[in-house]
Amino acid sequence: MKSIYSILLVQFLFVVSSFAKDFDFFYFVQQWPGSYCDSKQSCCYPSTGKPEADFGIHGLWPNYNDGSYPSQCDPTRPFDQSQVSELLRRMQTEWPTLACPSGDGMKFWSHEWEKHGTCSSLDQHSYFQITLDLKNQVNLLQALATAGIEPNGQSYSLKSIKDGIKEGVGYTPYVECNVDTSGNSQLYQIYLCVDRSASTLIECPIFPHGKCGSEIEFPIF
């Protein structure tokens, strides 16, 4: 009798676990601070000071191959600053918040952890550390500079930006644009894809939707 119950229990657990469909890959998303600031919403520098003129991390987002994505996967694991205390200085320089009013970053990081990180099957410390390490692996500004593309307020073709990143980083990015206060399309975020283990860049299984102009501005920051 006991063994029937344990078989039923195993079957029950199997059915339940197969409902919680795992994700397929990550988007690793970086933002250009000049474009976040040069828009209608405007920006506020973090309380720790003006960020470097470099791409900053937006997040590491679990995604499905069909383009949909899981979010807020575990309300029982809220952001806990003490788990990332060793990483804080790196987070301040490489993952700065630009939203208003000025903050120290905790709100941005807790939002990213709770919305995306809790779906990543990583613990909090690993989620932030792995994302910071990905940023070290990928030097977007250098790849673009090598292709003659610099944040100087000029416009570049979308194709030259994609090709430059493909050449320097090895993978084709998705480029997201926003519009500046005069309505020009500008380079806002760069998406690269990472495998489920969060260690290896891959070609993206699917790109988000959205469009840039064919010529896009790369604003000064």
- Nearer to ligand 5GP by C-beta: 120 or 129? 120
Residues 1-30 binding ligand 5GP (CB under 6 A) are 27
**Whether 3 contacts 191, CB under 8 Å:** no
Among 119, 22, 26, residue whose Cα is nearest residue 71: 119
Write out the H or E segment, with its range, that includes residue 121. none
x/- letters, 50..69, toward ligand 5GP (CB under 6 A): --------xx-x-x-----x
Q: Which position has the token pair 């952890």?
A: 113
CA distances from 188 to 66, 113, 128 (A): 24, 21, 22
**Whether 36 contacts 43, CB under 8 Å:** yes
- Nearer to ligand 5GP by C-beta: 92 or 160? 92
Residues 66-95 binding ligand 5GP (CB under 6 A) are 69
For the bound state, the minimum distance from the C-beta of residue 156 to ligand 5GP, rounded and expressed in Å, comes to: 22
**Whether 98 contacts 36, CB under 8 Å:** yes
- Nearer to ligand 5GP by C-beta: 10 or 100? 100
Which residues are the active-site residues? 58, 112, 116
- In the complex, which residues of this chain contact ligand 5GP (CB under 6 A)? 27, 31, 36, 58-59, 61, 63, 69, 97-99, 108, 111, 115, 208
